[in-house]
Structure 1
Amino acid sequence: MTIINNYEEYKAFEGKSLGESQWHTIDQKQINQFADATLDHQWIHLDSERAKTESPFKSTIAHGYLTLSLIPYLWKQIAEVRNVKMEINYGIENLRFSQPVLVDNEVQLHTHVKSVANLRGVIKVTIEATLKIKDSAKPAYVGDVIFLYHFN
């Protein structure tokens, strides 16, 4: 895990990889819980029997937004940003879902620091986030995640 204590340390990673998270298995229980939390109960996520016969994937798949919601959990395995009064998820840009995550697939977040800017004391960091799927050539998605940090 990378420890970042201040703007200068973050800036030193600009243009570099910060590494990757551990592998995380997305199982049917997690998919069902996400469906309940978001009220998104499409059969392609929940009905394994129907998915076997009607889905082109022959399996249930994780919600795209479920895979996105894993970013904070997986990010915390990659970097610990210290001395922060407040951290804000500012946005996601240029995100493309390129491959569905099937039930019981393992995923891993890979990160690359694209830019670090000091905006009058607020640090804006753009991280290219790639969610890889174990044993798949294509990632689930690639996009730029933007964080705002207020350091002490």
Structure 2
Amino acid sequence: MRVFEGLDQVENAIGEHLGFSDWMEITQERVDAFAEATGDHQWIHVDPARAAEGPYGSTIAHGYLTLSLLPVLGADVMDIRGFRMMINYGLGKVRFPAPVRVGSRIRAGVELASLERTPSGAKLTSVVTIEVEGGGRPAVVAEAIRLMVE
């Protein structure tokens, strides 16, 4: 884990790949809970028997479920200190190049892409790439923007 103490340290690391999170298994229980929370009960996510006959041979995680794991996976990679508040500000470009099969493990790699100073702190953009263990293409590539208030 990379620890940053204040804005100057973060700014000095722009352009660096900070490393990877721990691996996280994607379970059917997590997928089902996400389906319940969002109302997205498409069979490819929640019907293992039907999905076994589908294009991926098993159920897959919702793309937005995988995307929603950015904060928890990113917390394994970096800890930014010295701010009164940090909040998710939004996303830039987001892509879902490959599915995440239930039972597989994912992890996130984080690169600090840019920092824009503001009167109250800064906006930090990180490129987060979620990969599937043993997979060829990433499952998610997203520009995550965090507002950091001093």
Please indicate the TM-score interval, normalised by the length of the shorter structure: over 0.9
Matches within 5 A, 1:1-152: 1-53=1-53, 55-151=54-150
Identity of aligned residues (%): 37
- Distance (whole Å) between structure 2 residues aligned to residue 84 and residue 31 of structure 1: 34
SS of structure 1 residue aligned to 2:138:
coil
- 2:37 partner letter: A
Q: CA deviation at 1:121?
A: 2.8
SS of structure 2 residue aligned to 1:84:
coil
Runs of 4+ in 1 over 3 A off after TM superposition: none
SS of structure 2 residue aligned to 1:135:
coil
- Distance (whole Å) between structure 2 residues aligned to residue 52 and residue 80 of structure 1: 40
Provide the aligned length of Structure 1 versus Structure 2. 150
SS of structure 1 residue aligned to 2:84:
strand
Q: CA deviation at 1:40?
A: 1.0
Query: What stretches of structure 2 of length at least 5 have no aligned partner?
Result: none
- The TM-score with structure 1 as length reference comes to 0.96
- 2:42 partner letter: Q
SS of structure 1 residue aligned to 2:66:
helix
Q: CA deviation at 1:79?
A: 0.8
Aligned-residue CA RMSD (Å): 0.9
